[in-house]
A and B are shown apart, each in its own frame.
Chain A
Amino acid sequence: MKAIDVRNINKAYHGEAMVLEDVSFEVQEGEFFAIVGPSGCGKSTLLRIIAGLENVSAGTLYMNGEDMVNSRPNERQISMVFQNYALFPHMTVAENIVFGLHVKKISKQQQKQRCLEAARLLGLEQLLDRKPRELSGGQRQRVALGRAIASEAPICLMDEPLSNLDAKLRSKMRAEVRQIQRRLGMSMIYVTHDQVEAMTMADRIMVLNEGSIQQIGRPLDVYNYPQNQFVATFIGSPPMNMTKATLNGQHIQLTDGWQVAASGWEEGDVCAGVRPEHLTYAAEEPPTFTAAVEHIEILGTETLLMFRMNGELWIAKWPGQWDFQEGEEIPLKVDEEHIHFFQPGTGRRIDKRVLPADEMYMEAAL
């Protein structure tokens, strides 16, 4: 069953430029759905529209099968976790967790029980009498999560909840949030600018840019089959390397001495992209091309090699530790199947391979 069904939503502030343009997607029950995009792409606005904190300019919104586009936030059966947690500084952790439950006519006894359950789930039992200011960032985050859990709403909305935590804690909380969502079976919409969070946590992700949907799909599908140039460069770190390639008879010429067959090719010049990990070291076999190392970063488990490709900075990511001098020529190898092609004007993907259907995979995943 669809928990949330967003259809053709448009949003503009004061009749000015569109913030969201014709956004349609659906979220299944129990699904972890991440919305990812650069800052200012409209992802928070979209979440606030779903929460009912913001009006739509046009479009409809169904939640659990009911038209909810004009209803108030509390009628939508949602809980929400904010970026700054929105904890009440004068209340204890326990009071913060059960905040708002009295409005729903839930008895004191039950409130207490829910509070204890949430606290046990999050490891907050020892901290229930503290005030938020006596907690660390991660603990505050957990309290905010506890409030969402205690409300027992079937839909949970999260707006960049981990962005105020340090890197180590963030990866820990990533796993925790994911586990809790699975255990409680809530439908989750999770907004983030961090593509790592989106990739690692979500069942499906939606990439948003400048108010319009770029791609919706399972994380790996989005990674392996980016539908346009924006998705290709946004998802993945370091980003996909891009260069212009020219059509030369039956071949596409990427750079001097590197061409790939293009039989039956209808497009003219294209953009070609290769992920950094697909630029491998050509040890034995003849290299696809060679390049002079411009800069090298050795990270311990992997090495980033930077070089110029038709004037663009390209990065190759090799596992292990490699030591090259700057200016040294390195032989590189790329499998043809790992080259992505995009239309230069629209940025749309050119692909003979068919992308696996979303729906089938979705049902299998659930």
Chain B
Amino acid sequence: MTMKKKVILYTLLTVSAFLMFFPILYAFLISFMQGGEVLKGRIIPSDFSFTNYSAAMQKVPLLRYLFNSFVVASLIMAGQVIFCCLAAFSFTFIPFKGRNILFLIFISTMMIPWEATMVPNFQTIRSLGLTDTYFGLSVPFFAMAFGTFLLRQQFKTIPHEMYEATQVAGVSRFQFLWKVVLPVSKTTLVTLAIYSFLTAWNMYLWPLLVTNDEQMRTVQIGLKQMQSQEVSTEWGVVMAGAVLVILPTLILLFLGQKRLQEGLTRGAIK
């Protein structure tokens, strides 16, 4: 590649990256601005003080919300990884009658929008008395067709001879899953874990439904509360809250990305 081409390419990449990232960057900058500055259309805040952040913390119990979200998202992540692994394993390695039909039905649930199942789910959770609990917030999301599908596709790339070799050696199915399938599928597992954590972190409607207690609310509801309290007057405070909320997800993404890349390149170079 010539120098000229390189310059053009990198300029284009930088510009588009800046455009993509601008909303987040702008939100970050606004979080330091005082009320008037935002309306004046300024880009760079006059000074970088953390007054908005402390205000955001005081307006709503943001730390508590962050903690709740963290617990719920972690529970959902763990639940999904465990349940999807087990389901995908049996769909891949254990032959039983009607397996393919069952899998098709299982997969077709992906076409049913989550909102359609919300009412029955809510009734179940309420009659179990799980409203305002971490379990009520997370359990309905444990079984996920997408995750099962993703892992099944990954498990199918594992040669069947490996399973047979473990059978000949007398190693149990669970040990095969634990000692062979999971380590070999690490990359896909990390992908699924990150995906489910982020989805859970960004949940809004379900936590709103099953929580009434202030102590059990999650961050996304906190943000909405903040927005409705302030109504366009204190954008700085709202954005400070938003930055606090996206920070953990960004960190997770960065950490995960590194591991993902590691896993991908390891698989690519034979």
Separation of A123 and B77 alpha carbons in the complex (Å): 46
With CB as the reference atom, state the residue of chain A lying closest to B175: A103
B153 vs chain A, min Cβ distance (A): 18
- Give the chain B neighbours of A100 by CB distance below 8 A: 165-166, 168-171
**Pair B159/A80 contact, Cβ less than 8 Å:** no
**Pair A89/B184 contact, Cβ less than 8 Å:** yes
B180 within 8 A of A: yes
With CB as the reference atom, state the residue of chain A lying closest to B170: A74
- Give the chain B neighbours of A52 by CB distance below 8 A: 167-168
**Pair A86/B162 contact, Cβ less than 8 Å:** yes
A73 within 8 A of B: yes
**Pair A86/B161 contact, Cβ less than 8 Å:** yes
B183 within 8 A of A: yes
Separation of A48 and B160 alpha carbons in the complex (Å): 13
B270 within 8 A of A: yes
**Pair B169/A74 contact, Cβ less than 8 Å:** yes
Interface residues on A, range: 20 to 34
Separation of A106 and B111 alpha carbons in the complex (Å): 50
Q: Which of B165, B166, B183 has the most CB of A within 10 A?
A: B165
**Pair B159/A86 contact, Cβ less than 8 Å:** yes
A308 within 8 A of B: no
With CB as the reference atom, state the residue of chain A lying closest to B266: A133
Separation of A133 and B180 alpha carbons in the complex (Å): 16
**Pair B270/A88 contact, Cβ less than 8 Å:** no
- Give the chain A neighbours of B180 by CB distance below 8 A: 88, 90
- Give the chain A neighbours of B165 by CB distance below 8 A: 80, 82, 86, 99-100, 147
Known A-B contacts A84-B159, A90-B183, A133-B270; A53 and B164 likewise in contact (beta carbons under 8 Å): yes
**Pair B184/A73 contact, Cβ less than 8 Å:** no
Contact with B along A66-91 (1 / 0, CB 8 A): 00000011100011101111101110
**Pair B184/A80 contact, Cβ less than 8 Å:** no
In chain B, residues 158-201, which have Cβ atoms closer than 8 Å to a Cβ of chain A?
Answer: 159, 161-162, 164-172, 175, 180, 183-184
**Pair B171/A103 contact, Cβ less than 8 Å:** yes
**Pair A151/B167 contact, Cβ less than 8 Å:** no
**Pair B183/A86 contact, Cβ less than 8 Å:** no
Separation of A79 and B168 alpha carbons in the complex (Å): 7
**Pair A82/B183 contact, Cβ less than 8 Å:** no
- Give the chain B neighbours of A99 by CB distance below 8 A: 165-166, 169, 171
With CB as the reference atom, state the residue of chain A lying closest to B160: A86
- Give the chain B neighbours of A147 by CB distance below 8 A: 165
- Give the chain A neighbours of B166 by CB distance below 8 A: 99-100
Separation of A151 and B170 alpha carbons in the complex (Å): 11
In chain A, residues 70-122, which have Cβ atoms closer than 8 Å to a Cβ of chain B?
Answer: 72-74, 78-80, 82-86, 88-90, 99-101, 103-104
List 7 additional A-B contacts (Cβ < 8 Å) besides A72-B170, A82-B164, A100-B165. A48-B164, A74-B168, A78-B168, A85-B161, A90-B180, A100-B166, A104-B170
A-B contacts, 12 listed (Cβ < 8 Å): A51-B168, A74-B167, A82-B161, A82-B165, A83-B161, A84-B161, A88-B180, A89-B184, A99-B171, A100-B165, A100-B166, A101-B169
